[in-house]
Structure 1
Amino acid sequence: MNIKITPGPLKGCIHSISSKSHAHRLMIAASLCADFCQVSISDMNEDLEATENCLSQLNDLFPVFNCNESGSTLRFMLPLSMALKDKAVFLGAGRLPERPISPLKEEMESHGCTFTKGTDSPQNSTGNTQQIFTVTGRLKGGVYNLPGNVSSQYITGLLFALPLLKENSTINITSNLESSSYVMLTLEVLKLFGIIIEVYKAPQVQDEPLYSFIIKGNQQYISPGKVSAEGDWSNAAFFIVADALSCLAHNVSTPSVTCLHLNPDSAQGDKEILSFVETVRKTRHSNEKLVFDVSDVPDLVPVLAVLAASRQGTTEIINAGRLRIKESDRLATVYEMISHLGGNITELPEGLVIHGTGKLKGGWVNGHNDHRIVMAAAIASILCTEPVIIQGTEAVNKSYPKFFQDFAHLGGKYNVL
């Protein structure tokens, strides 16, 4: 679906949707409890539905897990399923079959699992869904060594799985732990469900902190009875930036857009958007160069680039190399988005440099089947002097199906082409 947005400020109040990151973790933990646990999630999306469907097959002898396009689902379910099963088939769609799974794959292989590509042809492997691999062999405990700068989701998957094994285990993080807030969120959920993980942070080695997670085997997930997914800072970030841009458009300092049900004490790292916005507010009319390190909050980059375009001056986004293996190559697609809208941006191997002028022109944007590119382009329309046309807006269904409903509720004007 393609839409055309007429530029204009947003104003009003919306209810923040449930955190996808928190909901994934609550759903998984609840499914592992002997007693029933009610998980309250106010808003579902395609990624959460993928996890829900996979968890429903945990009682099957040889499950076929269709992870759709959800990297979180695949990376969480891989170690978890092999802690419980002798064989499982994993399917995926979109870019998921192409996205890397190393070094988690190699660590699982050294602990009892075998990965095979193309040996099964499940009946539900249809459309753009394809088999990624078949995994056989039970996961074993022991020592796991993982770099911390590839994907925190590998660590989370193992943290869910290893307490279920007979043996004790240790996860050693051999390099700087990026996206550490997501690991801390996992640990919070595990503690809520009675799982004990000991965390050790070693002294700095070559300026990089190292972590070890000590995990006893034979633990049991204990139902807390009822849990609720908190509000999502990742997706609220788009409307938090929309508030900043709308205030600029009206030349006012009072909030124009309010997002309810966000936990200020959340472990979600993307609440960092508040400090990014405040920094840009203070330097909007200066020529001061800003440098934003996004190693812990990579999902903010698309909307952060839009925010950077709203100020006069240069903003550099660093430590964002992992964005090249998301739903799209997000460094390339953010560069294309800002360029097509008339902005001045430079793409670097692991980051971006935005030369802000305080405004954008408008134009045509390819969503590249990436929900965060589509939403960022919609918010960028606030800065534009001419309409913005976005191709493939259905991509928002991955994380925020009612995004354009909320956009319209706040006064956003668009029509379907």
Structure 2
Amino acid sequence: MHAISKKASLKGEVLVPGSKSHTIRAVLLAAMSDGKSVIKNPLTSDDCLSALRAARSLGAEIAEAPGSWVVTGRGKDLHVPEDFIDTRNSGTTTMFVAAIASLLDGYTFITGDEQIRRRPIRPLLDALNQLGADAHTTRTGVEAPPVLVKGKMIGGKAYLSGFSSQYISSILLAAPLAGGDTEIFVDKPLEKPYLQMTLDWMRRYGVTPEEVSPDYKYFRIKGNQSYTATDSIIPSDWSGVAFPLIAAVTTPSSVVITGVDFNDCQGDKIVVDHLIAMGADIVKDEAHHRMTVVGGKALRGGTTIDLNDIPDSLPALSVAACFARGKTTFTNLAHVRVKETDRVAVMEEELKKLGADIEIGPDYMIVNGGSPLVGAEVDSHDDHRVAMAMVVAGLFASGTTRVGNVECASVSFPDFFEVMNAIGSNVVVGD
């Protein structure tokens, strides 16, 4: 499936769907809890449905209704699935389920799509093995799924690189149900807002770690605990907000984005502040959970943006940097290279097809913006954030931009094209 985007002027109101990161944590914790939990406003994207299916495979009962999921958890009575678990394209689900599987008697086989089968998981498996599990990849010399995990995790000390917050969050979620206490030692933790999100969700379900260092380098979690079922409402997805937001900023537009919580722990909310610092006309109304964007005004470059805590924002922000006049530098990008794709290399490759002036290194990107982009044929590389970013770039490029393989947008933003067209993007989607 492809999308064709051309210059557009946007007008109207956007309500962004629930957060993928929040939804996955909520449904898996509900499965690990004793009792019935109601999750309102879950994101029904491909990744979140992968988490839902995994929870069912492990023994949870889930009733789906419009706008809510009712999850009857099994607590410590979760069991190994009757078949393998296919997480498809969900890296978060893959990591979290591997840790949950380490609590179970028997073997759990976990796999995913081609991108997941290239995604490093060895550091997590090593940590699970340090805590008493038996976890391995299935291909000799390959550090990525498929994986085979056998319990039981008994606790102890785990040493982890902070390269991916998913490794740490996985251990945090599973540790309270382990046979003994767990200590986690982290070297150079990245993506700290996601770690805080995990801790917040654990507390909602009744578990608080005994100790968390302010720098997120040390955690101590008591074992033999239980999660307690609870009801929750999923907030809007700040990672998804970035795309209609930057589309509005870079085109002659007047757009109101609603349903946003400026106090939420999602790190990507800082994208708004970065855009304001670059000169974007954005008015935040925190009391009413909305912001108003008047777009098409020139943005300023000359800024450096550290993506240590917000790696998912690179595709969207690199597009905004092309619109800005001057040099924008993005730093701390090493972990951005091991997402669904190497997003540093992929965004350089695809934006250069539109005429962008970009330089990259192992952990940085420099965008020399301000020169007009010219429409061309580009590709998503089956990466949902790349797909949406390139569609947005086409809205202020001259001519026609054809983005290939855009069906992957459903991984995190199932109604992306409908939402954008409702405010006048006029993006044409076809086979």
**TM > 0.5 between the two?**
yes
SS of alignment partner, residue 281 of structure 1: coil
**Structure 2 equivalent of residue 219 of structure 1:** 225
**Structure 2 equivalent of residue 123 of structure 1:** none
User: Does the CA-based 8 Å contact 1:199-1:211 persist in structure 2?
Assistant: no
1:389 maps onto 2:395 in alignment: no
**Structure 2 equivalent of residue 87 of structure 1:** 107
SS of alignment partner, residue 35 of structure 1: strand
User: Does the CA-based 8 Å contact 1:9-1:245 persist in structure 2?
Assistant: no
TM-fit CA distance, 1:9: 2.3
Deviation string, structure 1 residues 163-190 (Cα, Å, up to 9, x no partner): 0012111111122x21100010111111
User: Does the CA-based 8 Å contact 1:29-1:221 persist in structure 2?
Assistant: yes
| Comparing 270-279 and 108-117, the one that deviates more | 108-117
TM-fit CA distance, 1:199: 3.6
Equivalents in 1 of 2:333, 2:256: separation in Å?
28
- Give the 3 Å change call, closer, same or farther, for CA 42–53 of structure 1 in structure 2: closer
For residues 56-95 of structure 1, what are the structure 2 equivalents within 5 Å?
56-59=56-59, 60-63=79-82, 64-95=84-115
Give the count of matched residue pairs.
391
Pairing partner for 1:265 from 258, 263, 266: 263
SS of alignment partner, residue 34 of structure 2: coil
Equivalents in 2 of 1:54, 1:42: separation in Å?
16
Equivalents in 2 of 1:286, 1:50: separation in Å?
39
User: Does the CA-based 8 Å contact 1:62-1:86 persist in structure 2?
Assistant: no
TM-score for both structures, normalised by structure 2: 0.86
Identical counterparts, % of pairs: 27
**Structure 2 equivalent of residue 11 of structure 1:** 11
Pairing partner for 1:189 from 201, 204, 218: 201
**Structure 1 equivalent of residue 321 of structure 2:** 308
Equivalents in 1 of 2:25, 2:88: separation in Å?
18
Equivalents in 2 of 1:75, 1:345: separation in Å?
33
User: Does the CA-based 8 Å contact 1:193-1:222 persist in structure 2?
Assistant: yes
- Give the 3 Å change call, closer, same or farther, for CA 117–152 of structure 1 in structure 2: closer
Equivalents in 2 of 1:65, 1:6: separation in Å?
41
TM-fit CA distance, 1:6: 2.1
TM-fit CA distance, 1:61: 3.9
Equivalents in 2 of 1:51, 1:414: separation in Å?
30
SS of alignment partner, residue 90 of structure 1: strand
- The structure with the largest strand share of the pair is 2
Deviation string, structure 1 residues 275-333 (Cα, Å, up to 9, x no partner): 11111117986876211000000000001001111111000111011121111111111
| Comparing 362-371 and 106-115, the one that deviates more | 106-115
SS of alignment partner, residue 188 of structure 1: helix
**Structure 1 equivalent of residue 174 of structure 2:** 161
Equivalents in 2 of 1:165, 1:363: separation in Å?
53
For residues 362-373 of structure 1, what are the structure 2 equivalents within 5 Å?
362-373=375-386
Flag structure 2 segments of 5+ consecutive residues without an equivalent. Answer: 60-78, 282-296
SS of alignment partner, residue 413 of structure 1: coil
TM-fit CA distance, 1:219: 1.2
User: Does the CA-based 8 Å contact 2:128-2:171 persist in structure 1?
Assistant: no
SS of alignment partner, residue 279 of structure 2: helix
AA matched with 1:241: I
For residues 8-407 of structure 1, what are the structure 2 equivalents within 5 Å?
8-59=8-59, 60-63=79-82, 64-118=84-138, 132-148=146-162, 150-175=163-188, 177-201=189-213, 209=215, 211-224=217-230, 226-246=231-251, 249=252, 256-281=254-279, 289-357=302-370, 359-407=372-420
**Structure 1 equivalent of residue 290 of structure 2:** none
Flag structure 1 segments of 5+ consecutive residues without an equivalent. Answer: 120-129, 203-208, 251-255
TM-fit CA distance, 1:4: 1.5
- Give the 3 Å change call, closer, same or farther, for CA 227–30 of structure 1 in structure 2: same
TM-fit CA distance, 1:115: 3.3
User: Does the CA-based 8 Å contact 2:306-2:330 persist in structure 1?
Assistant: yes
RMSD between aligned alpha carbons? Answer: 2.0
TM-fit CA distance, 1:382: 2.4
Deviation string, structure 1 residues 250-298 (Cα, Å, up to 9, x no partner): 6xxxxx2222111110000000111111111179868762110000000
- Give the 3 Å change call, closer, same or farther, for CA 288–28 of structure 1 in structure 2: closer
User: Does the CA-based 8 Å contact 1:240-1:258 persist in structure 2?
Assistant: no
